[in-house]
Structure 1
Amino acid sequence: MPGTVDPVDAALREAAAVGPFFALCPEGRPFDQGRLPLAHVYSAPEGPLVARIDAVAAALRTGDRRVAASIAFQGLAARLWSVALGAAVLGERLPDLGPERLRWNPARTAPDDLWLPTPRQAARDDGDLPAALRSAVLHGHLLPLHRATIAVCSVSSRVLWGNAASALVGSLRVLHGWCRTAGRPRAADRALSLCRSVLDDPLMRETGTLHEDAGAPAFVRRGCCLYYRVPGGGLCGDCVLAHCR
């Protein structure tokens, strides 16, 4: 019908209102040859993923490729979680973010790094949004990204899964705070519930502990992302090393 708003597009627009990290590249931007299907990035990491790790290493001024690979993984994980979680929480729709459809430009920053072609479709959820979120992001993207990262750099598997959990809770904290400020307490509760479900997946279950601190979600990792090894770097707020002092 004329004027009918597609629910998936509406969910993505609601997510984008939270901030650029929760948004996809806006429609109408010029064609970008640097955009690659993430499926290609995962299957041929020697090109785009290595280039991204090199760029992160240069930005952090570190020669330790494990640190750069860790931070590169966490950055992309945070983008994927933010887009999916924002749409699922605010629009109660999970877009089809399949790695064959979703494209990434490793040289861009949010929101221009991720682009989804139209028509944008809903992911199949069978009425179980938490399971759909786990399937779409954790198993559909982060598991192959984890394998690709380890294939090009000898970074610890435990570090990467800890990063996946930390990225999820980082997105949760921003979204939860935004929902509370916007007067949407049910959405804030939905965000927390969805994240608890994801963190209960076997891939994430041993990564850390989610709790509430003064009404806001907080997380304590059981591992470290290695950022303290960066020149001038320190410990992240959720780092196990910070909580052992």
Structure 2
Amino acid sequence: MVLLLFVHLDPAFDDGLAALRPLGGFFVLPPPGPPPRRLPTLSRVYGDRAPDVHDDPLGFLVRKVEAALRAPEPRIAASVAHQGLAARLWSVTLGCAAVYGAVPDLDPRLLHWDPDGSAPGDLWLAEARARPADAGTVADTVLHAHLVPLTASLRARYRVAAGLLWGNAASALAGAARELDRRPDRHGGTEAAARVRALTADLLAHPMLARAGTLTGTAFRRRSCCLYYRVPGGGVCGDCCFRRPPRFPTPPRSSPRAPSG
């Protein structure tokens, strides 16, 4: 018996998302279609708590980050893992907005994720369906569909402050936009870069992100700390609310009892 797999490819993405390749790194997605091996969809990831990479991919990633960083507590690894996944989702979306003038429908039921993979092989989009690249649609695509349930899961499992996680989301968005602005020759020139800057500013004004920090041009300064300074040899990030690492054991502003939460 021959099994035929039909992949829906919107005319807006009829090149199979190949135009993202010059952007490199976090901005690229493999050609739409089923993943090459068993991978969970992100709709399964948010909230699952079972013991292995397939049944608890979110926990697997946090443990992997915790071991790699030698993090002194799981919530630090949870924060770093959260920011990495947020950056990946924002980068794909903004990259498509710049290159295609449209964004893919990243419905968590269509998006497969490998928590042990690296970009671009960590995400696999089953179907490429175009949506408008306006701020409301992008907020629905990334904030509401992904970052709301991801934030809720990490808060429940690792007691990470909400203010910290929304600061991560805003920082990841600003970082993706800044990278696109830095190399407009890769994605359509200065006009596309201007569209991305305007889109980013609108997104950072969204109620979920508006209190997370301040955007000045392409520079962003967040009002919370991702806790990276707590890992051995870590320091503060370029957009951190702290100018230098706080002295521990003074509780960081992003602790569960701090104002940022």
Of 98, 115, 128, the residue aligned with 2:124 is 115
Of 80, 95, 100, the residue aligned with 2:104 is 95
The answer to whether the Cα contact below 8 Å between 1:211 and 1:219 also exists between their aligned partners in 2 is yes
CA separation in 2, counterparts of 1:59 and 1:28?
Answer: 31
Partner amino acid, structure 2, of 1:42: Y
Q: Which runs of 4+ in 1 moved over 2 A?
A: 8-16, 25-30, 180-183
Partner amino acid, structure 2, of 1:98: D
Check 1:210–1:30 CA distance in 2 against 1; reply closer, same or farther (3 A cut). Answer: closer
Asked if residue 41 in structure 1 is aligned to residue 29 in structure 2, the reply is no
Partner amino acid, structure 2, of 1:155: V
**Percent identity for Structure 1 against Structure 2:** 43
SS at match of 1:240: coil
The answer to whether the Cα contact below 8 Å between 2:33 and 2:126 also exists between their aligned partners in 1 is no
TM-score of the two chains, using structure 1 as the length reference: 0.88
The answer to whether the Cα contact below 8 Å between 2:16 and 2:31 also exists between their aligned partners in 1 is no
Partner amino acid, structure 2, of 1:121: R
The answer to whether the Cα contact below 8 Å between 1:11 and 1:91 also exists between their aligned partners in 2 is no
Of 18, 26, 29, the residue aligned with 2:23 is 18
After superposition, give the CA deviation of every residue in 1:171-191 in whole Å (9 maximum; x if it has no partner).
011111121576711111101
Partner amino acid, structure 2, of 1:40: R
1:130 is displaced (CA, Å) by 1.3
Bigger proportion of residues as helix: 1
After superposition, give the CA deviation of every residue in 1:11-68 in whole Å (9 maximum; x if it has no partner).
83223321121011346897221x2110100131551111110000011111311110
Q: Which residue of 2 aligns with 1:31?
A: 36
CA separation in 2, counterparts of 1:31 and 1:37?
Answer: 13
* Count of residues in Structure 1 that have an aligned counterpart in Structure 2: 233
Partner amino acid, structure 2, of 1:39: S
CA separation in 1, counterparts of 2:240 and 2:180?
Answer: 21
> What CA RMSD, in Å, does the superposition of the two structures yield over aligned residues?
2.3
CA separation in 2, counterparts of 1:167 and 1:11?
Answer: 25
The answer to whether the Cα contact below 8 Å between 1:65 and 1:153 also exists between their aligned partners in 2 is yes
TM-score of the two chains, using structure 2 as the length reference: 0.83
CA separation in 2, counterparts of 1:74 and 1:28?
Answer: 26
The answer to whether the Cα contact below 8 Å between 2:22 and 2:186 also exists between their aligned partners in 1 is no
1:138 is displaced (CA, Å) by 0.8
CA separation in 2, counterparts of 1:190 and 1:11?
Answer: 23
Structure 1: unaligned runs, 5 residues or longer: none
CA separation in 1, counterparts of 2:10 and 2:47?
Answer: 36
The answer to whether the Cα contact below 8 Å between 1:23 and 1:83 also exists between their aligned partners in 2 is yes
The answer to whether the Cα contact below 8 Å between 1:87 and 1:94 also exists between their aligned partners in 2 is yes
CA separation in 1, counterparts of 2:47 and 2:180?
Answer: 31
The answer to whether the Cα contact below 8 Å between 2:33 and 2:125 also exists between their aligned partners in 1 is no
Match runs of 1:149-188 below 5 Å: 149-179=154-184, 184-188=189-193
Structure 2: unaligned runs, 5 residues or longer: 1-8, 51-55, 247-261
CA separation in 2, counterparts of 1:5 and 1:122?
Answer: 6
Partner amino acid, structure 2, of 1:77: A
Q: Which residue of 2 aligns with 1:64?
A: 73
The answer to whether the Cα contact below 8 Å between 1:15 and 1:22 also exists between their aligned partners in 2 is yes
Check 1:103–1:187 CA distance in 2 against 1; reply closer, same or farther (3 A cut). Answer: same
